[in-house]
């Protein structure tokens, strides 16, 4: 898989590529990551301007963004804009995107991107109902969630029972040593050796945790 970040701030991605699972995935050649700067496709290095009709702040111009897209776009490319108007990102979408050969993630900044970008993308994705200074952090969240699902990056059993993998049900509580800490004990069923009872406990605990979290949200 290849992931292309279109960003005014490509240095954001240095740390992202140099640590943990992402670093290993690049080393294994499970994923290729590149950054494209729209400034390289702009006249006089200008990538933003004031808005028609007025409004506070500056808006990213359409031409440098489209030129950046076209510089890397292929027949197998899928183009995503990181933005607040997109559908909320979920694990099911991560699975779908992990099957794509070339993913292009466009990062807005300032007041966003000229609305005509809609004619050049496949979809817009939001990571939540809040505003951050640019799309770079959001694009890394999406990329991370996809890369870990690629074949050979991590063991399949590491994510097959994770939160949200089974529809929208959270993963069950998990424990490790010591057996008792500060008076708090690991549930006895988990050390019983009875796998049938353990599986039933895990399933019920997942459901209970999901209900508890949803009630807190409400």
Summarize pLDDT for 24-37 with one digit per residue, the tens: 999 999 999 999 99
Do 170 and 152 sit in the same domain of this protein?
no
Q: pLDDT tens, 69-83?
A: 999 999 999 999 999
Residue 197 has pLDDT above 70, yes or no: yes
Residue 101 has pLDDT above 70, yes or no: yes
Residue from 74, 73, 79 nearest 103 by CA:
79
Q: pLDDT tens, 59-69?
A: 999 999 999 99
Do 92 and 192 sit in the same domain of this protein?
no
Do 182 and 209 sit in the same domain of this protein?
yes
**Does the predicted TM-score (pTM) go above 0.85?**
no
Do 127 and 172 sit in the same domain of this protein?
no
Alpha helices in the chain (DSSP H): 13-17, 20-27, 62-72, 91-97, 136-147, 195-217
34-62 CB burial, b ≥16 within 10 A, e <16: ebbbbeebbeeeebbeeeeeeeeeebbbe
CA dist., res. 10 & res. 134, Å (int): 12
Range of the domain at 139: 2-156
Do 140 and 188 sit in the same domain of this protein?
no
Do 134 and 80 sit in the same domain of this protein?
yes
Tally the domains of the chain. Answer: 2
Do 68 and 12 sit in the same domain of this protein?
yes
Last-in-domain residue among 124, 156, 188: 156
Crossing angle (nearest 10°) for helices 136-147 and 20-27: 60
């Amino acid at each position: 898989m290849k992931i292309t970040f279109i960003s005014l701030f490509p240095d954001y991605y240095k740390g992202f590529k140099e640590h943990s699972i992402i670093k290993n995935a690049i080393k294994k050649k499970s994923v290729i990551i590149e950054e494209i700067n729209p400034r390289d496709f702009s006249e006089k290095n200008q990538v933003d301007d004031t808005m028609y009709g007025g409004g506070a702040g500056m808006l990213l111009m359409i031409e440098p963004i489209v030129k950046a897209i076209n510089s890397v776009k292929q027949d197998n490319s899928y183009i995503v804009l990181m933005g607040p108007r997109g559908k909320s990102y979920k694990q099911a979408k991560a699975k779908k995107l992990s099957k794509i050969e070339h993913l292009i993630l466009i990062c807005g900044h300032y007041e966003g991107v000229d609305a005509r970008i809609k004619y050049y993308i496949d979809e817009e994705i939001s990571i939540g109902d809040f505003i951050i200074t640019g799309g770079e952090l959001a694009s890394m969240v999406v990329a991370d969630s996809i890369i870990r699902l690629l074949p050979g990056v991590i063991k399949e059993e590491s994510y097959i029972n994770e939160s949200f993998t089974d529809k929208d049900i959270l993963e069950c509580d998990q424990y490790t040593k010591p057996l008792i800490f500060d008076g708090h004990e690991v549930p006895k069923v988990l050390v019983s050796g009875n796998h049938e009872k353990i599986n039933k406990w895990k399933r019920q605990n997942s459901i209970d945790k999901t209900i508890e979290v949803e009630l807190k949200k409400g």
